[in-house]
Chain A
Amino acid sequence: DSGVTQTPKHLITATGQRVTLRCSPRSGDLSVYWYQQSLDQGLQFLIHYYNGEERAKGNILERFSAQQFPDLHSELNLSSLELGDSALYFCASSVEGLAGPYNEQFFGPGTRLTVL
């Protein structure tokens, strides 16, 4: 168990809908990262927050947004969902930000999103 929790485990929704995925980082970790994992795209970095502030953006669509709250948990909001958004969404946390060298990321168990 990595200490990172994600809810829900599974989510099934329809195209055009909006969903929110939640992540609680390990105790003491200030950084939260979101990743999308699909069969054809592998593991793709979406966005990184450090202590409430956005630090880096990866391949995140404009329909997607995220935030990190004062208690350091994070939410990933996916809107106007398309079939191609079906994937596993992972959250990871680390003590420092990406700029910190040799900074291990601890991954949560993921949320499996299915868009029908």
Chain B
Amino acid sequence: QQQVKQSPQSLIVQKGGISIINCAYENTAFDYFPWYQQFPGKGPALLIAIRPDVSEKKEGRFTISFNKSAKQFSLHIMDSQPGDSATYFCAAVRGLVFGAGTILRVKS
């Protein structure tokens, strides 16, 4: 069974701090790794995504780091803000498989 393992389940970060969420996958056929952000009462929305041929992708305060040999990737949120409080899902595509989600709360 294809799996994407995500950690931590929940995370509390002070405003201005760095939020780090990690994911690991098993199937080397995955070829696209998106992160989705979900606010309460809303559907998930694509936040940022990376292909396995690059090791890092940065968009504003959001960075994905990708380690192909370890089959791991992570989301870093720099200068975390209360508005970033949401649930974050990593996913892997060859058939979309989601991680279990991380509930992030940024304390002001």
Contact partner of B51 (CB less than 8 A), chosen from A2, A43, A102, is A102
From DSSP, what is the main secondary structure of chain B's interface residues? loop
Q: Which residues in B have their C-beta under 8 angstroms from that of A56? A: 95
Rounded to whole Å, the gap between the CB of A11 and the closest CB of chain B is: 15
Q: Mark A22-40, 1 if CB is under 8 A from B, else 0.
A: 0000000000010000000
Indicate if A42 sits at the interface (CB-CB under 8 A). yes
Number of interface residues of B (CB under 8 A): 22
Residues of B within 8 Å of A42, CB to CB, are 89, 98-101
Contact with B along A80-115 (1 / 0, CB 8 A): 000000000010100000100111111111100000
CB distance from B57 to the nearest CB of A (A): 12
Compute how far the CA of A110 lies from the CA of B87 in the bound complex, rounded to whole angstroms.
15
A105 touches B96 (CB 8 A): yes
B43 at the interface (CB under 8 A from A): yes
By a CB distance below 8 angstroms, the chain A residues around B41 are 109
B95 touches A98 (CB 8 A): yes
Whether, in the assembled complex, A4 has its beta carbon less than 8 Å from a beta carbon of chain B, the answer is yes
A25 CB to closest chain B CB (Å) equals 13
Task: Give 1 or 0 for each of B69-108: 1 = CB within 8 Å of chain A CB.
Answer: 0000000000000000000010001111111110000000
A64 at the binding interface (Cβ < 8 Å):
no
B99 surroundings in chain A (CB, below 8 A): 42
A33 touches B96 (CB 8 A): yes
Which residues of the partner chain B approach A110 to less than 8 Å between Cβ atoms? 42-43
Q: Which residues of B contact A (CB under 8 A)?
A: 31-32, 34, 36, 41-46, 49, 51, 89, 93-101
Q: Which residues of A contact B (CB under 8 A)?
A: 2, 4, 33, 42-45, 56, 58, 90, 92, 98, 101-110
Taking A42-B99, A105-B46, A110-B43 as given, write out 15 further A-B residue pairs in contact, using a Cβ cutoff of 8 Å, ordered by the A residue number: A4-B43, A42-B98, A43-B98, A43-B101, A58-B95, A90-B43, A98-B95, A98-B96, A102-B51, A102-B93, A104-B46, A105-B96, A107-B43, A107-B45, A110-B42
Give me 22 A-to-B residue pairs in the complex whose CB atoms sit less than 8 angstroms apart, sorted by A's number: A2-B45, A33-B96, A42-B100, A42-B101, A43-B98, A45-B96, A45-B97, A56-B95, A58-B95, A90-B44, A92-B43, A98-B95, A101-B32, A102-B49, A102-B93, A103-B93, A104-B34, A105-B46, A106-B46, A107-B43, A107-B44, A108-B43
